[in-house]
Structure 1
Amino acid sequence: MTIQIRIERTTAPKPRPQASELGFGKYFTDHMFIVDYAEGKGWHDARIVPYQPITLDPAAKVFHYGQTIFEGLKAYRTETGQIALFRPDMNMKRLNRSNDRMSIPAIEEELGLEALRQLVLIDKDWIPDAPETSLYVRPFVIATEAALGVSPSKQYQFIIIMSPVGSYYAEGIKPVSIYVESEYVRAVAGGVGHVKTAGNYAAGLKAQEGATEQGCAQVLWLDGVHRKYVEEVGSMNVFFRLGNKIVTPALTGSLLSGITRDSVIHLLRHWGLEVEERLISIDEVTQAQKDGSLKEMFGTGTAAVISPVGSLYWQGEKLTIGDGSTGELTLRVYETMTGIQTGRIEDPFGWRVALD
């Protein structure tokens, strides 16, 4: 396909925040990408324009029926000054899996990847270079047809915005405490738990309030049928080091197929470690904590990359994992993953994609 993206540069660049001010998702770059879809016409009018509000009819289907999906990835400035993305092809493939489940037309991967490339390069001066910083990239699709009635929209917009970010958690790489949810259910197999759609995250907000009240950073969800098998944290997949093997919940259709998760599994096996993708119950986890065989636990995701878990809050009890500090394997995975992403170390897998 011939990809043409119209470019309109801003005439009023925004001031850039200091690295110490970044946080996560607070500031946004000067430009955004937009492409429209209309039934019978397909995706058309691809353009990069100054960052601006979106104007929609009050009857737009995204507001009433939640027909929307999103992705998340990061751009990095390597130690040699090169601009790079991390496995962007995987994000485009997952975006289209989400589109398919939410009855949204597929987006040509070439178009999505070229839009990412051009937008990042136009706003490359927004990429911070301080340790643990990056440019977070948020592609998303919204249903824009102005019509009430439960049916797929006939019009959409695919948009990409970007935000310079620091650590996802204020604690940085320090261990966080995770609240294990026993009352609320987020997703079941056959639903939409395996795709990145807004409703999945809205469904978790009530539980997150409870986690915050207990001083926990995130919620760990159990399966929605048996209420016993560990699935994922709201923003991360999870891994347990049980003795000499690493266990992560199997992709059963109700949890997200994380790109960082997939990368970590490849990395661990590359190191010759045993990795099991299987059902793991909260009872198995708590028993392993009690008998000392649970050595480490960490989360994986684009936003935090690797987040060590120091304790679980389950049924009114705080369960400390190991000695509560960042485990040796967790730190090794973190340093290797971020090293590959930022070019500090060799990338034996071809995951880092240079843009310039």
Structure 2
Amino acid sequence: MAAFGTVFIPEMAISWFDGNSWSPAEIVSSESIQLHPGAHVLHYSSTCFEGLKAFRHEDGSVNIFRMDRNIERFSQSSELLALPEIDKDATGKMIIDIVSRFKDDVPEPPGSMYIRPTHFGTEPAIGKAASPSVTSCQYILLSPVGDYFAGGDTTLRLLLEEDGARCAAHMGMIKSGGNYASALRPIMKAKEEFNADQVLFCPNGDVQETGAANFLLIDGNEVITKALDESFLHGVTRDSILTLARDLGMDVQERQLTIDELLERAAKPGCEAALSGTAAVLTPVGTLIHNGKDYPVGNGGIGATTLKLRQALNDIQWGKAEDKHGWLTRI
């Protein structure tokens, strides 16, 4: 099977901002975009994106999960990057129209259609290092994806990094490619030196997030994760999991979590940790690496509560449980 996110639907929805208004959305080939070599995005990284999914239900309908929340974050990222303001209603229509056009290509569960809205500055002006792009482009790219866990569930090894951060603190809540790029070298180094799967960035001992996912600690009935601020990404999956945990009567704590508390709790039998994100929903963490030493989380295996929360979210996405929170947009 092809790697996640490497197969694309042959057409996409696209719209251009000319400095005054957005063009009517068009359906074009997803093979290429014509862009001036001096485009602002290529020199000053004026770009943001989103990641969400559409799911096929047993009745044949296709349902997009938390589209409104993703569009809100897309708009926020655009604003914080000083990109032209998007029309949220128009973006939503672009998403619905392109997914509807390729409705028959949405895989059966546990597969889904991954949706990637993207917005970037297009103005050809290499002298604007300190000024925003006046023009821009947004498009909606689709990628049918299979079961993220097709190879079987495994637990991750996370290196706790105290000296570095994933990105600049004021950029953390922006879903921008530069934030992912800045985390690549530390992740590659952690894989090479410690056989780690990811880096959990903990600047000055403050447990934040990994290079591409939010972090949750599950200790009995408690779910502990960093409180929202501008230093890290406000994950939609994170919010969904915390909402379902509250629905189950769990004690959800959004607060500061230090490395010391994390390691102390992780040593307890039954403790669990997980990463949340669109691709994997919840991925169990089995080992934390700190100062060259391995610390198992609980028994180092896959936690029952992690699986229960992931299944609860999957059941809503797949139409097997009631959508009590109005998260699905049926098309």
Task: Settle same-fold status: TM greater than 0.5.
Answer: yes
Pairing partner for 1:344 from 301, 310, 320: 320
Show the counterpart of 2:5.
Answer: 25
Q: CA deviation at 1:243?
A: 3.7
Q: How far, CA to CA, are the matches of 1:231 and 1:31 in structure 2? A: 37
Q: What are the within-5 Å matches in structure 2 for residues 319-330 of structure 1?
A: 319-330=295-306
Q: What are the within-5 Å matches in structure 2 for residues 176-215 of structure 1?
A: 176-189=156-169, 191-213=170-192, 214-215=194-195
Q: CA deviation at 1:42?
A: 1.4
Show the counterpart of 2:210.
Answer: 233
| Partner AA of 1:247 in structure 2 | I
Do the aligned residues in 2 keep the contact of 1:238 with 1:298 (CA within 8 Å)?
yes
Pairing partner for 1:91 from 61, 64, 70: 70
1:221 aligns with 2:201: yes
Q: CA deviation at 1:235?
A: 1.6
Q: How far, CA to CA, are the matches of 2:156 and 2:142 in structure 1? A: 26
Pairing partner for 2:307 from 319, 325, 331: 331
| Partner AA of 1:218 in structure 2 | Q
| Partner AA of 2:106 in structure 1 | I
| Partner AA of 2:120 in structure 1 | I
Q: Which deviates the most, 49-58 or 80-89?
A: 49-58
Compute the RMSD of aligned alpha carbons: 1.6
Q: What are the within-5 Å matches in structure 2 for residues 249-288 of structure 1?
A: 249-288=226-265
Q: How far, CA to CA, are the matches of 2:270 and 2:162 in structure 1? A: 21
Q: How far, CA to CA, are the matches of 2:226 and 2:277 in structure 1? A: 14
Q: How far, CA to CA, are the matches of 1:345 and 1:276 in structure 2? A: 25
- Number of residue pairs matched by the alignment: 328
Show the counterpart of 2:117.
Answer: 139
Q: Which deviates the most, 58-67 or 293-302?
A: 293-302
Q: Deviations over 1:55-105 (max 9, x none)?
A: 211111101101111110011111222101101000000001101100012
Q: CA deviation at 1:126?
A: 2.1
Show the counterpart of 1:309.
Answer: 285
Q: Deviations over 1:110-160 (max 9, x none)?
A: 11111111101111222111x431111111111111111221111100011
Q: CA deviation at 1:38?
A: 1.3
Q: How far, CA to CA, are the matches of 2:258 and 2:51 in structure 1? A: 29
Q: CA deviation at 1:52?
A: 2.0
Do the aligned residues in 2 keep the contact of 1:285 with 1:294 (CA within 8 Å)?
no
Unaligned runs of 5+ in 2: none
1:108 aligns with 2:87: yes
Do the aligned residues in 2 keep the contact of 1:178 with 1:218 (CA within 8 Å)?
yes
Task: Give the % identical residues.
Answer: 37
Q: How far, CA to CA, are the matches of 1:307 and 1:140 in structure 2? A: 25
Q: Deviations over 1:148-186 (max 9, x none)?
A: 122111110001111111244675533222222234322
Q: With structure 1 as the length reference, what TM-score do the two structures score?
A: 0.88
Do the aligned residues in 1 keep the contact of 2:269 with 2:299 (CA within 8 Å)?
no
Show the counterpart of 2:46.
Answer: 67
